[in-house]
Amino acid sequence: MSQSSDDIFIDSSTSNDYFTFSSSSPKSIISMKCGQELAHDALCSSLCPTKSASFSISENGDSDRNKHGIRKPSVLDEKALREDDTVLVRDQRIETISRSYQVILESIGEDPLRQGLLKTPKRAAEALVFFTKGYEQTIRDVVSDAVFDEECENMVVVKEIDIYSLCEHHMVPFFGKVSVGYLPNKRVLGLSKIARICEVFSRRLQVQERLTRQIAEAIAEAIQPRGVAVIVECLHMCMVMRGAQKVNSRTTTSAMLGVFREDPKSREEFLSLGRITPF
């Protein structure tokens, strides 16, 4: 095999260096519009693969087994971490996080009792719970009642869906846009549900590579299309405000499943239809 279909490519456009290495994720292309340090950052995050099983849609549409024939955990069966939160549990959660923020304020040298900061721990706690509300939702909740039988064979593209997430390494925001395309196989998904799927996964602690893959896998599992393509372009505040401090560097990741993986024409059609304009 000249090239594993599971390789990740990192294209550092300023250095023209290409790094190729094996990963357990679906075929992904990561291009970094910035210097060497950022390519290194991306390498580090990609070299710590997430616990997912490798996965592809085979010709017969059997998407629930990985290439070793092992049944992978179903995205649709996944239980959200805060799925069963009651009002009481939620209040306790906010109370606990508020106390933690108070300690953080003291630890950075601030006076949590000065007027401007009195309500900050509670406000920050409520904001954090909101930023991570994807833990309260499951993909099954989102897609139920929105899968329709339809003889449509043409590519469906929903482009430039806004996402706001928190990087799991620094808990600071990364945000940007997602374009999703799929080739239906007698079933379509309600269009707004594609945006909802992006929202559920992005409102959790994330790395962009995993977010991209999860969106693709969720759509693949929900409607078993002939192929799914996802491209995500984000600005990471952990790169902008610290470390490399590359203000305009955006990170692009993509996941191609099924036909999009095998057929360059379909892939190119998607990349042109779903192109993300600079933001």
> How far apart are CB 236 and Zn ion at their closest, in Å?
6
- Of 104 and 238, which CB lies nearer to Zn ion in the complex structure? 238
Our finding on whether 244 is near Zn ion (CB under 5 A) is: no
Please report how close the Cβ of residue 238 comes to Zn ion at its closest, in angstroms: 3
Q: Would you call 31 helix, strand, or coil by DSSP? A: strand
Residues that contact Zn ion, how many (by CB under 5 A): 4
Tokens matching residue 99:
């106390």
Q: Is 72 in the site for Zn ion (CB under 5 A)?
A: no
Q: How far is the CB of 239 from Zn ion (least distance, A)?
A: 7
Residue 247 buriedness (CB in 10 A; 0-12 / 13-18 / 19+): exposed
Q: Which residue in the set 72, 82, 93, 169 belongs to the binding site for Zn ion (CB under 5 A)?
A: 169
Please state the φ and ψ torsions of residue 121, each to the nearest 5 degrees.
-55, -45
Applying CB under 5 A, does 157 fall inside the site for Zn ion? Answer: no
Closest approach of Zn ion to the CB of residue 113, in Å:
31
- Single out the residue of 32, 167, 216, 271 in contact with Zn ion (rule: CB under 5 A): 167
Q: Which is nearer to Zn ion, 166 or 223 (CB)?
A: 166
Tokens representing residue 274 in the block: 């779903």
40 lies in the site for Zn ion, by CB under 5 A: no
170 binds Zn ion (CB under 5 A): yes
Q: How far from 134 is each of 79, 166, 211, 254, CA to CA, in Å? A: 11, 11, 12, 21
Contact 56, 258 (CB under 8 A): yes
Q: Which is nearer to Zn ion, 223 or 239 (CB)?
A: 239
Q: Which amino acid, one-letter code, is at 265?
A: K
- How far is residue 32 from each of residues 165, 231, 239, measured CA to CA in Å? 19, 13, 12
Contacts with Zn ion, residue ranges (CB under 5 A): 167, 169-170, 238
